[in-house]
Amino acid sequence: NAGVTQTPKFQVLKTGQSMTLQCAQDMNHNSMYWYRQDPGMGLRLIYYSASEGTTDKGEVPNGYNVSRLNKREFSLRLESAAPSQTSVYFCASGVRPSPFSNQPQHFGDGTRLSIL
């Protein structure tokens, strides 16, 4: 009963290094999301994928790229890490909203990323 699994849980990078955060869900959800959480702020949407094969920018996409590898997996890549990207990153998945109802998103436990 894993739900949403994120790897790694912790990572320290140097400025300029690249890194891919992995996310997988086993709930057969169509939609997947990447958020970041910074002190004193709520979670902010970086990118999302409404369905396999599509990705779209969220509120704070600069400095990130994403890949929806298949229905289960959605990765987030930092090509050249900057100290401003030090944050806790959360992946989420959910049923794609229908014209009649919406459903909650389900979150992983996060990746704590520090960039020196």
Alpha carbons within 13 A on the beta-carbon side of 22: 8
Instruction: Give yes or no for residue 61 binding other proteins (CB under 8 A).
Output: no
Residue 38 or 79 with smaller CB distance to other proteins: 38
Instruction: Give yes or no for residue 50 binding other proteins (CB under 8 A).
Output: yes
Instruction: Give yes or no for residue 2 binding other proteins (CB under 8 A).
Output: no
What are the angstrom distances between the C-alpha of 106 and each of 3, 29, 83, 85, 113? Answer: 8, 10, 28, 23, 21
Binding residues for other proteins, per CB under 8 A?
A: 4, 31, 33, 35, 40-45, 48, 50, 58-59, 90, 92, 94, 96-102, 104-110
